[in-house]
């Protein structure tokens, strides 16, 4: 994807997010809908899923900035700092614990607070996009399993993240209604 396509898709996804979440009632926003992947006793609400988007978007920007600064393992998931390859199970345990910590920190935030949180993350992404050259957008992000693995692809992945979570939410809600 080129710069214009990336920015367009990021802006369209942001508009979708704002329209979708602002149409929900407080009950819909706050009701538990999915079980945590890290703690079976914890459940995430729609609003928790929305807040989570900010975590990942910020993390992606940080990974890209680490690579641009010369860090050899900017993603830090596939291998540890000593170069030892992690198993998928080890990776998912790290990812889920990180997400859980963020969810617990922001659980109970209002819709306005979550929209501000995700807005700051999207602003960070757009600012980073504006700083990058076309060549940097095409550069592979070392260790990135997302999209095509390029810096531009990873930035664009943020656009689809909200709809991915929305699908999981809808699947969970549909499953509850069939029981």
Question: Is 66:143 a contact under the CB 8 Å cutoff?
Answer: no
pLDDT over 70 percentage in the chain: 100
Q: What token pair was written down for 16?
A: 């979708």
Q: Does 85 have pLDDT greater than 80?
A: yes
Distance CA 17, CA 117 (A): 13
Task: Measure CA 56 to chain center.
Answer: 3
3-state DSSP of 87-111: CHHHHHHHHHHHHHHHHHHHCCCCH
pTM exceeding the 0.85 threshold for the entire prediction: yes
CA dist 152 to 46, 63, 96, 133, 143, Å? Answer: 28, 12, 25, 10, 14
Domain range for residue 101? 3-178
Q: Residue 71 to residues 37, 81, 142, 179: CA-CA distances in angstroms? A: 30, 11, 9, 49
* Interior/surface letters 124-159, b for 16+ CB within 10 angstroms, e for the rest: bbbebbeebeeebbebebbbbebbeebbbbbbbbbb
The 3-state DSSP class for residue 74 equals coil
Of the CA atoms within 13 Å of residue 109, those in its CB half-sphere come to: 22
Q: pLDDT tens across 20-74, in order?
A: 999 999 999 999 999 999 989 999 999 999 999 999 999 999 999 999 999 989 9
Domain of 32: which CATH number?
Answer: 1.20.120.450
- How many domains are there within the chain? 1
What pLDDT score was predicted for residue 176?
83
- The neighbouring-strand residues paired with 79 are 85
The pLDDT value recorded for residue 79 is 86
Residue 179 has pLDDT above 80, yes or no: no
């Amino acid at each position: 994807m080129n710069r214009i396509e990336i920015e367009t898709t990021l802006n369209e996804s942001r508009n979708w997010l704002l329209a979708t979440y602002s149409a929900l009632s407080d009950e819909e926003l706050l009701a538990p809908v999915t079980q945590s992947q890290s703690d079976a006793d914890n459940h995430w609400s729609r609003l928790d899923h929305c807040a989570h988007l900010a975590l990942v978007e910020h993390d992606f920007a940080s990974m890209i900035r680490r690579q641009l600064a010369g860090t050899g393992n900017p993603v830090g998931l596939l291998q540890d700092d000593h170069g030892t390859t992690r198993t998928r199970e080890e990776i998912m345990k790290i990812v889920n614990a990180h997400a859980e910590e963020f969810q617990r920190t922001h659980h109970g935030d209002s819709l306005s607070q979550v929209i501000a949180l995700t807005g700051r993350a999207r602003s960070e992404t757009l600012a980073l996009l504006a700083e990058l050259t076309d060549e940097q957008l095409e550069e592979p992000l070392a260790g990135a399993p997302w999209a095509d693995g390029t810096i531009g692809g990873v930035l664009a992945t943020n656009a689809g993240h909200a709809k991915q979570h929305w699908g999981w939410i809808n699947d969970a809600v549909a499953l509850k209604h069939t029981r």
